[in-house]
Structure 1
């Protein structure tokens, strides 16, 4: 039977330092016998080596002192971290555990940064922290941004964050929903009009492009803009000038453009519903806002945030949170917010919000078998278990030892569950923080 030994850092470091120093003393004593020319140099080296030994001893002492808080940190780590081991291998050594602690500390710091830099956008998952990193990079420039993603993911909040982190933060943030304005009024709304330009134009109106001077213009649902207006928008983006409807004077514009859509613009281009040249003009820095299904570990945070606003001090049961995490959420964050608000309304002043939430997720009193969720109890339990494990793996980048810590189970148990549920941890591996 093969034995495994885990050498302590407290033993290994002094041994290495002492061994190096001893080797240097031996070389200083023996080399002059074989190389007489080194005798004088050897005499001079003895005091230096003595000083070196002193430095090595002091260094080892400092290392031992420095290891004490780290060892205490390891001793107080979660049980899953202290007992983590490979599926068929020995327990983790001190080096491995120290690496896990460092990784968890880096993850906590990343979450704190996300919470401090983007307080309005709740998200501490790995995919959202990567998204926040991209937001910060592009916010520092004046590049045009195209936000892509499903409805309800928070594209307007992302646009507001880009504006708030940019050099134009002191300027206005002007939002236009291109789908909500009738075709005949969109041009006037964007570029403004002169008095008497058309029936009802009783005074000059400043368009949204001019209103956003020195700030950011957010063109939401750009995929729903009519083709003739798209051509005019393209011209404005190229020249940075526009003319008000009914006017003849060109107006200089100074607004950063952020556009958003939930539509498949390349497909619309192939069908002749969207201009390809405008797409390339807007697609300078594309950013896809993650759907709620891709960041399930953020669902409890979002639910608690919404609940705190609607009913301060209220909490959700573990069962309710598990149901929320397992839901498919086709409406994304908007649907989750509506579900929380609906549960608060049904609960009234004294009832438990969780009871109404569990029965109303997804827009119906009974969702058994809906949207791909299994109907039998065993299938449901397997569905919830797989969802929670996948969320933990997504949070840790596919590292099973860290996912086991988050789930509060041993890594051997997680390994068997992953195999039983046919989960591929490699799918969740990425470049890290």
Structure 2
């Protein structure tokens, strides 16, 4: 019986090409049922992950004893010569797992018994996505079929019990298919398509790097919404039933989920962007709402101003002291109050993610000179930005608020005359 696992499996073991080794026999046997990429070192495994992206599963040895340069495989992956020196690194495999962010099932299959030493830490990071098995004295060439069966059954059992985790793998496949098609079409239209788009954006005065990235993301989205396999997978996932759970643990996990949807953590060298959340002082934050197309110009001209919407650390709880807010408490995140905007679970305010943001359009907008804001950012580095589409929703509502126009009230008799007739 063949495994139902979809996608490519990465098999990392330093003996997969060694003659008369059970690892080689296991690798060749797995390849008869699954598409498998074999590498002989953790360095090459890292390069494979960077080059190919998400694997459906990673079968990983723990100890690497060879000290060679695998030129042929390295050349195939586009990495040149890579010296394999992992024997000197006692915890190389552990470091590999902690430093590489990948979304795959991880099947550790090693001579070393690592459950006691590393099991808890690995499950803390990977949760149910990790299986740890030990190679024992029974792992011989003659008995490879038994271990192959055990690995495939372990993969299938994991997949069956974690159906919710298989959807992102299908999503990755859809992204890979779509982006390859998009790149093909763009390159057929114009061989220097990246440069032409870049120069076009640059001549318009916008940040060309961000513009190219955002434009391609939008095109990718247009392709994904037409991917029937992905839509069917999402529909199947949506038909699953969830047991009711209102425990504090569930509230916290959902708050963590929606916090991640709303905010992205910024790297130290991230460019200045619309939606960046700046720390104004010890009690106040500001969200940059200057349009993306103006960011580059304002940043370069220190006499121009950035527009920000501000909120204090206790803005959310203070807003609920107002009766009209309290009366709408169940609907505030639906933006039911015209002059106010609410955002949930801002990470900088609480590790429990139980503190939100309240912005009052009538009094919380400020302008900060470009030079002053950049100095402020250097002193108080940005940690988060408000994601799309939430930043666009915030800007649209603010612009709508300040652009509203008062009109004469309609006489009561006119109302009656129109309504009754």
TM range (shorter): under 0.3
More strand by proportion, 1 or 2?
2
Per the normalisation by structure 2, the TM-score is 0.22
Larger radius of gyration: 1
More helix by proportion, 1 or 2?
1
Higher relative contact order, structure no. (Cα contacts within 8 Å, ≥ 6 residues apart): 1
